[in-house]
Structure formats: C-alpha cells, structure tokens
Amino acid sequence: MEEHRLLPMKQGYDKDLFDELYRDTELLRRKLSWQIDSRKFGVDYNEIYSWFNVKFIFVFNKYIDKKDPNQLKG
C-alpha cells in the first residue's frame, strides 16, 4: 500500500541494528496485524502484516541518523 514511499537503504546503515530491531518488534507487528479486522478492508492478514513491515522499514531508513536506537525502536 505504501511501498512507493520506500527509498533504498542509506549507505552504511547498521545492518545488525536493523536486524535486532526487526526481530524485537516482530511480535508487536504480528499482534497489531491480528487486531485489525481484515474483512473490513477487503484484504487478508498477510497484507496488513506487510503494511507494518513497510512502515518499519520506512521509519528506520528515515530516522536512523536522527534518533538513538531506543527511540528508533519506540
């Protein structure tokens, strides 16, 4: 849905930090996806989950230079 907003990852981004934050927030993204009534939007669970993944990547890439890792995780 918002994939058009994604940009290539910034040069020299911390891959280990990305992997750690992605792993740490996986359960939250899954929980949030289950709480949304997918029938209301005419999509399935996996589509909603992918929206949260896209949003995670977008926010990480945008704020990696501006926020410390704890704020970025929040």
pLDDT per residue as tens digits for the range 8-53: 888 888 899 899 999 999 999 999 999 988 888 889 999 999 989 9
Structure tokens at 59: 């926010």
Verdict on whether the full-model pTM lies above 0.85? no
Contact 72, 21 (CB under 8 A): yes
Q: How far is CA 63 from CA 12, 20, 68, in A?
A: 14, 16, 9
> pLDDT tens for residues 15-25?
998 999 999 99
Give the Cα separation of 33 and 58 in Å (integer).
17
